[in-house]
């Protein structure tokens, strides 16, 4: 998610999601501490119905494909 968001941010002006909207944002904050930089995600990421991102869960193929398609749509493809 972070990588795709960074790529989109470089290509065009992409709206960023407020991570505090998600219940498990503290797990992302731990990741930020490891990276020593803020993690931002583009608005192509919606999260799950229970208001979580589940950053420590492996992504399924359909989830990965959804991110790619949403990213390409943002780019106008």
Rg of the chain, C-alpha, whole Å: 12
- Quote the pLDDT of residue 50: 95
Residue with token string 């998600």 = 22
Count how many domains the chain has. Answer: 1
Q: What is the pLDDT of residue 2?
A: 62
Q: Which domain holds residue 56?
A: 2-74
The pLDDT tens digits of the residues spanning 8-34 come to 666 666 777 788 888 888 887 776 665
Alpha-carbon distance 48 to 10, whole Å?
A: 26
CA distance 31 to 50: 21
Residue-wise pLDDT tens digits, 31-65:
666 556 666 676 777 888 999 988 888 889 998 88
């Amino acid at each position: 998610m972070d990588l795709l968001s960074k790529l989109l941010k470089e290509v065009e002006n992409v709206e960023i999601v407020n991570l505090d909207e998600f219940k498990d944002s503290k797990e992302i904050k731990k990741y930020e501490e490891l990276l020593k930089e803020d993690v931002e995600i583009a608005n192509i990421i919606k999260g799950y119905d229970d208001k979580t991102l589940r950053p420590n869960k492996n992504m399924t193929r359909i989830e990965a494909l959804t991110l790619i398609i949403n990213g390409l749509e943002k780019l106008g493809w």
